[in-house]
Structure formats: C-alpha cells, structure tokens
Amino acid sequence: MAQSLPKYTTFILFLFSFLLKTQSHKYSEKLSPKSLGFKTEKLTHLHFYLHDIIGGDHPTAVLVAQPPKFNTSNSVFGATFVIDDPLTMGPDQSSKIVGRAQGMYTFASLNEFRLLMVMDFVFVKGKYNGSTLSIIGLNYVPSPVREMPIVSGSGIFRFARGYALANTHFINMTSGNAVVEYNVFVLHY
C-alpha cells in the first residue's frame, strides 16, 4: 500500500497539470463577425470566360482517369479530367486573364453528358488577386445555362456563397476545346 502511494500522487499531479493546460489553451470561443472585420454582406457579380483546352500542344485539361470500357463503347462514365483553365475577361483567348479554374471534372452520369465539377476559381486581377471561390456541382452540358453552387471561398471571398451560371460560348466538336461564359453571383463580406 505504502509503495503504491507515490504512484497515485503522481497520477493526481499529472491530472491537475493536464486540466491547467487545457484551461490555458482555449479550444473554442464565441466571436462577433465584426471582431474579424466582417461587417456587411454584399452581392458581387463576376463575368468571365473559361477556356477548356483539351487538344493541341498546350492542353489545360488532361484526362487522368478513364473507365475500363473507355475505348470500346460510347460510355465515358467515370472519365476524369484535371484542369487549369484560364479565365479571361472576353471570349477571346488572348483577352486579359482574370484568373484560372483549377480542379477537376468527372463524367458522373451513366447515360447523360453530366459532369461533376470540383474546382476553384483562383483570381489574379485587381482586388480579387489571390482570392478564390470554390465550386462543387453537377454540370449538365447540353443545357443552354447550367447552374452550379459556389460553396465557399477564401481571401475577399471568405464566407462566400452563391451560384455560377455557365453557358457554352463556343465548342469545337473535333478538338473538344470549349469557351464557356460564366456569370457568378456571390454573397460575401
């Protein structure tokens, strides 16, 4: 009994020091949005063109995964592209770059031309330089206008939410290269 006492004491001391430590490291606290500079929420409209370049010497979209039957049937279900597509102010590829769309899309429907888009718009122009918007959603390509959710963002777009409307401006059916017009409506601080 006398021998086990010091051990027991050590344990108590350890417990106390542990409790003290957890008290000095605050795990969570309530803050007002204003304390971090988030004052009034505003709505911003962004308009640009995305260039998805599959063919040629400098593709910005590359096929990284393909289903087993990719070359034996019409099904492209499961095919996945990784993209680093330029975003420009005008529809012309030589027009001013405002950012890039980085991420991936997957053919996510067995029977339809429906893509699951998982990408960030990374902006480089003006006050948006370095800020990002994150898009996750289905893109039913044959539809004239496709809506995808903006799920959040970073930088100027912290706490962002909104939606992106995409419509194909131009598509080359031979190469697959496409220019897609985006109208993005986003609430942020």
Query: Given the DSSP bridges, would you call strands 42-52 and 61-65 parallel, antiparallel or unpaired?
Result: unpaired
- 143 vs 175 by CB, closer to ligand NAG: 175
- 10 vs 175 by CB, closer to ligand NAG: 175
Contact set with ligand NAG (CB under 6 A): 55, 68-69, 71-72, 124-125, 129-130, 172, 174-175
- 90 vs 130 by CB, closer to ligand NAG: 130
**Minimum distance of ligand NAG from residue 157's CB (angstroms):** 15
Task: Report the DSSP beta bridge partners of residue 137.
Answer: 117
**Minimum distance of ligand NAG from residue 15's CB (angstroms):** 48
Contact predicate 122/102, CB 8 Å: yes
Contact predicate 166/139, CB 8 Å: yes
Give the residue carrying structure tokens 């996945």: 80
**Minimum distance of ligand NAG from residue 51's CB (angstroms):** 12
- 167 vs 172 by CB, closer to ligand NAG: 172
- 32 vs 71 by CB, closer to ligand NAG: 71
CB crowding 141-167: b at 16 or more within 10 Å, else e: beeeebebebebbebbbeebbbebebe
Closest Cα to residue 171, out of 138, 137, 148, 142? 142
Six-digit token string for 72: 């034996």
**Minimum distance of ligand NAG from residue 73's CB (angstroms):** 9
- 60 vs 117 by CB, closer to ligand NAG: 60
**Minimum distance of ligand NAG from residue 55's CB (angstroms):** 5
**Minimum distance of ligand NAG from residue 148's CB (angstroms):** 26
Spatial distance between the Cα atoms of 16 and 21, rounded to a whole number of angstroms: 9
Query: Given the DSSP bridges, would you call strands 80-88 and 61-65 parallel, antiparallel or unpaired?
Result: antiparallel
Sign of the torsion formed by the C-alpha atoms of 45, 49, 51 and 52? positive
